[in-house]
Structure 1
Amino acid sequence: MTAEAMVTSPLTGSEADDSRPLRIALLTYKGNPFCGGQGVYVRHLARELVKLGHSVEVIGAQPYPVLDTDALTGAGATLTELPSLDLYRSPDPFRTPKRDEYRDWIDAVEVATMWTGGFPEPLTFSLRARRHLAARAGEFDVIHDNQTLGYGLLADLGAPLVTTIHHPITVDRKLDLAAAKDRRKRASVRRWYGFTRMQGRVARRLASVLTVSGSSKKEIAEHLGVRDERIHVVHIGADTDLWSPDASVAEVPGRIVTTSSADVPLKGLVHLVEALAKLRTEQPDAHLVVVGKRAEQGPVARAIETYGLQDAVRFVKGITDTELVDLVRSAQIACVPSLYEGFSLPAAEAMATGTPLVATTGGAIPEVTGPDGESCLAVPPGDAGALAAALGRLLGDPELRTRLGAAGRERVLSRFTWAKAAEGTVVHYRAAIERAAAAGGKAPRNRQTPTAATTTTR
Structure 2
Amino acid sequence: MRILHVVESHTIHTSRVVDHQLAQGHQVRVATAHDFVGMGPVSLFEIRPWATRLPFSHHWAGILQFASMARGFKPDVIHGHYLSTAALFLASAPGVPCVASAVGSDVLVDPRAAHARLLMRLVSLWVDRFIAVAPHVRDRMIQLGIDVAKIETLPWGVDAEMFHPAETMPRGPSVISTRSFEAVYDLDTLLRAAEIVGRAGTRLRLALYGDGSLRAALVARARELGIVEHVRFEGRVAPRVLAGALRGASVYVSTALSDGASTSLLEAMATGLVPVVADIPANRAWISHRENGILFRPGDAGALASALEQALSNPELRARCYEVNPALVASRATWAACMERLEAIYREVTS
**TM-score (normalised: structure 1):** 0.67
Structure 1 residues 290-369: aligned runs within 5 Å: 290-293=208-211, 295=214, 300=218, 303-367=221-285, 369=286
Describe the SS at the equivalent of 1:25.
strand
CA drift at 1:121: 5.3
CA distance in 2, matches of 1:64, 1:32: 5
How far apart in 2 are the matches of 1:284 and 1:385? 14
Q: 2 CA distance for matches of 1:311 and 1:390?
A: 22
Runs (5+) with no aligned partner, structure 2: none
Are the structure 2 counterparts of residues 143 and 241 from structure 1 closer, same or farther at C-alpha, using a change threshold of 3 Å? same
Report whether the alignment pairs 1:429 with 2:346.
yes
**Counterpart in the other structure of 2:328:** 411
1:81 to 1:296, Cα distance in 2 relative to 1, 3 A: closer
Equivalence for 1:373: 290
- Count matched residues: 346
Aligned partners of 2:165, 2:64: CA distance in 1, in Å? 44
CA distance in structure 1 between the aligned counterparts of 2:187 and 2:253, rounded to whole angstroms? 10
Alpha-carbon contact 1:64-1:81 (below 8 Å) kept: no
1:58 shift after superposition: 2.7
Q: In the alignment, is the contact (CA less than 8 A) between 1:328 and 1:355 conserved in 2?
A: yes
Q: CA deviation at 1:329?
A: 1.3
Shift in Å at residue 56 of structure 1? 4.0
Which of 9, 18, 38 is residue 30 of structure 1 equivalent to? Answer: 9
Q: Distance in 1 between matches of 2:179 and 2:186?
A: 8
Structure 2 residue identity aligned to 1:380: R
RMSD of aligned alpha carbons: 3.1
Contact 2:287 2:294 in 1 (8 A): no
Q: Distance in 1 between matches of 2:54 and 2:200?
A: 46
The offset of 1:296, in angstroms, is 5.7
Alignment deviations for residues 409-437 of structure 1 (CA, whole Å, 9 cap, x no partner): 11111111112212222332233224xxx
Question: Alignment partner of 1:225: what SS?
Answer: coil
Between Structure 1 and Structure 2, whose CA radius of gyration is higher? Answer: 1
1:151 lines up with 2:84 in the alignment:
no
- Measured in 1, the distance between the counterparts of 2:135 and 2:68 equals 34
Asked if the contact 2:107–2:140 (Cα under 8 Å) also holds between the matched residues in 1, the reply is: no
CA contact (8 A) 1:123 1:195 kept: no
1:19 corresponding residue in structure 2: none
Q: Which has the higher contact order (CA 8 A, sep 6+)?
A: 1
Q: Quote the Cα distance in structure 1 between the aligned partners of 2:142 and 2:58.
A: 24
- Answer yes or no: is the 8 Å Cα contact 2:291–2:317 preserved in 1: no
CA distance in 2, matches of 1:157, 1:362: 38
Partner residue in 1 for 2:76: 141
Aligned to 2:150: 230
What amino acid is the match of 1:245? P
The residue aligned with 1:45 is 17
Q: Is the contact made by 1:359 and 1:379 (CA closer than 8 Å) also made in structure 2?
A: yes
What letter matches 1:241 in structure 2?
A: E
Asked if 2 retains the 8 angstrom alpha-carbon contact of 1:122 and 1:195, the reply is no
Task: Name the structure 2 match of 1:96.
Answer: none
Report which of the two has the higher share of strand: 2
Distance (Å, rounded) in 2 between the aligned partners of 1:194 and 1:308 = 44
Which residue number corresponds to residue 218 of structure 1?
139
Q: Quickly say closer, same or farther: Cα 1:63–1:121, change in 2 above 3 A.
A: farther
TM-aligned CA deviation for residue 220 of structure 1 = 2.4
1:209 corresponds to which of 123, 130, 133: 130
Change (3 A) 1:136 1:319: closer
Shift of 1:407: 0.9
Q: Structure 1 residue 395: deviation in Å?
A: 0.9
CA contact (8 A) 1:167 1:220 kept: no
TM-score by length of 2: 0.85
SS at match of 1:378: strand
CA separation in 1, counterparts of 2:280 and 2:295? 10
Q: Aligned equivalents of 2:300 and 2:179: distance in 1? A: 17
Secondary structure of the structure 1 residue equivalent to 2:163: coil
Aligned residue among 18, 43, 56 for 1:82: 43
Give the superposition deviation at 1:343: 0.3
Percent of residue pairs bearing the same amino acid type: 21
Q: Deviations over 1:114-134 (max 9, x none)?
A: 4x3988555335432211112
Q: 1:422 to 1:337 in 2, by over 3 A?
A: same
What 5-or-longer segments of structure 1 have no aligned partner? 1-21, 34-39, 68-78, 86-106, 175-189, 435-458
Equivalent residue number for residue 200 of structure 1: 120
1:59-86 superposed Cα distances (whole Å, 9 cap, x missing partner): 233325478xxxxxxxxxxx4321244x
The yes-or-no answer on 1:130 pairing with 2:48 is: no
- 2:29 aligned with 1:58, yes or no? yes
Q: Distance in 1 between matches of 2:264 and 2:186?
A: 14
Give the drift of 1:158. 4.4
- Equivalent pair of 1:154/1:202 in contact (CA under 8 Å): no
Partner Cα separation in structure 2 for residue 117 and residue 281 of structure 1: 50
